[in-house]
Structure 1
Amino acid sequence: MGIPKKLKNMNAHVDGEGYLGKIAEFEEPNLALATEDWRGGGMIGPVKIDLGLEGMEAKLKMGGHEASLIRKFGTTRVDGVRVRLTGAYQADDGTAAQAVECYIGARFSEISPGTAKPGDDTEHDYTLPLAYYRREVNGRTEVEIDMVNGVFKVDGFDRYAEIMAIISS
């Protein structure tokens, strides 16, 4: 029987600026294949045909007002905001902590300052539709997706390389 690794602490960097003590939450993007049903003659039921990837979205929640993040709103580049989230995951079984890092290239599509009331919490939410995503565990790249450049790597295997080779020549 094992003990799960839990997030013990984290930090976020946005365009190189650290937010230690200010980052409240980070929501990693869901990874999903874009599929459609196909049922051809002779098949007894449909199968899901892989059509690429669904769009990805991440979210940041800051503990309060961050003018430096609001100033990034409206960038014209799909990857104009670079975010690096570093998390330390550890199981309470005496094993070493794991470094989990997420690198994203995106832009803020929505900034939600929520409600403001003196004496109450004032968290701000930032939504980022991703153009680029890479997730590393202890320095090893587990997933890398570059929507614009056609990169879709999982565990070191580029699942889209064959298609890119055909259309790039």
Structure 2
Amino acid sequence: MSQINAIYNASVYIDGNIQLGKAAEFKLPEFEFSQDEHKGLGMVGTIKLPSGVEALEGEITWNSFYPEVAAKACHPFKAVQLMVRANLQTFDARGLAREVHVVTMVTATFSKNALGTFKPKEKSEHSSTYQASEIRQMVDGREVLYYNAYTNAYIVNGVDVLAQMRRNIGQ
């Protein structure tokens, strides 16, 4: 039977404190692999080989100014623990078949903070850009992704993708 997944809402946390209703949008980083082009004698085509992970950047848009958020976001030398908790619904031909939690935790430092956009008769918005050094994503309590730039850890669905590379470099 065919199934469709949907996520319609989420809660944002900073250092374990819920920011319910304060974020208008939370953009997680795009996980992008840098690619190195390879051409060789005898090869008709050019291929790209993965050579690392690009810097991870995300953004939060706040629906107003919150001093407690600004106090953490304006400190570029202190990492915070960001967390997004979402409800993943699975639908099939009979309707809602299952609901599980999706939790994404990000160790981040803020790098850019918009002081606000103000327009007449419109609510102000304030965005914060962050750099992520560690990401952990769990679905229904099962870790599906773990990445740590400082320790060269990259685990996908329980498989340590960089284990051999770490052994080869003596780490």
Q: Report the counterpart of residue 100 of structure 1 in structure 2.
A: 102
User: Once the 2 structures are TM-superposed, how far is the Cα of residue 151 of structure 1 from its aligned partner?
Assistant: 0.4
Give the distance between the partners of 2:16 and 2:110, measured in 1 at CA.
Answer: 16
The answer on 1:164 being equivalent to 2:166 is yes
User: Once the 2 structures are TM-superposed, how far is the Cα of residue 2 of structure 1 from its aligned partner?
Assistant: 4.0
Compare 137-146 and 68-77 and name the one that shifted more.
Answer: 68-77
Q: Report the counterpart of residue 75 of structure 2 in structure 1.
A: 74
User: Once the 2 structures are TM-superposed, how far is the Cα of residue 24 of structure 1 from its aligned partner?
Assistant: 1.6
Q: Report the counterpart of residue 136 of structure 1 in structure 2.
A: 138
Q: Is the 8 A contact 2:76 2:111 kept in 1?
A: no
For 1:44-55, what aligned pairs fall within 5 Å after superposition? 44-55=44-55
Unaligned runs of 5+ in 2: none
What TM-score, normalized by structure 1, do the two folds share? 0.90
Q: Report the counterpart of residue 149 of structure 1 in structure 2.
A: 151
Q: List per-residue Cα deviations over 1:54-105 (Å, max 9, x = no partner).
A: 111121122211111211223314xx11101101122452212121111001
Corresponding residue SS for 2:41: coil
Q: Is the 8 A contact 1:102 1:135 kept in 2?
A: yes
Higher strand share: 2
User: Once the 2 structures are TM-superposed, how far is the Cα of residue 26 of structure 1 from its aligned partner?
Assistant: 1.1
Give the distance between the partners of 2:96 and 2:39, measured in 1 at CA.
Answer: 51
Give the distance between the partners of 1:61 and 1:120, measured in 2 at CA.
Answer: 15
Give the distance between the partners of 1:18 and 1:122, measured in 2 at CA.
Answer: 21
The answer on 1:60 being equivalent to 2:60 is yes
Compare 90-99 and 54-63 and name the one that shifted more.
Answer: 90-99
User: Counterpart amino acid of 1:132?
Assistant: E
Q: 1:19 to 1:164 in 2, by over 3 A?
A: same
Percent of pairs with identical residues? 25
Give the distance between the partners of 1:25 and 1:2, measured in 2 at CA.
Answer: 30
Q: Is the 8 A contact 1:113 1:122 kept in 2?
A: no
What TM-score, normalized by structure 2, do the two folds share? 0.89
Unaligned runs of 5+ in 1: none
User: Once the 2 structures are TM-superposed, how far is the Cα of residue 36 of structure 1 from its aligned partner?
Assistant: 1.2
Instruction: Report the aligned-residue RMSD.
Output: 1.7
Give the distance between the partners of 1:147 and 1:125, measured in 2 at CA.
Answer: 25
Give the distance between the partners of 1:124 and 1:138, measured in 2 at CA.
Answer: 32
User: Once the 2 structures are TM-superposed, how far is the Cα of residue 167 of structure 1 from its aligned partner?
Assistant: 2.0
Give the length in aligned residue pairs.
167
Give the distance between the partners of 1:156 and 1:109, measured in 2 at CA.
Answer: 31
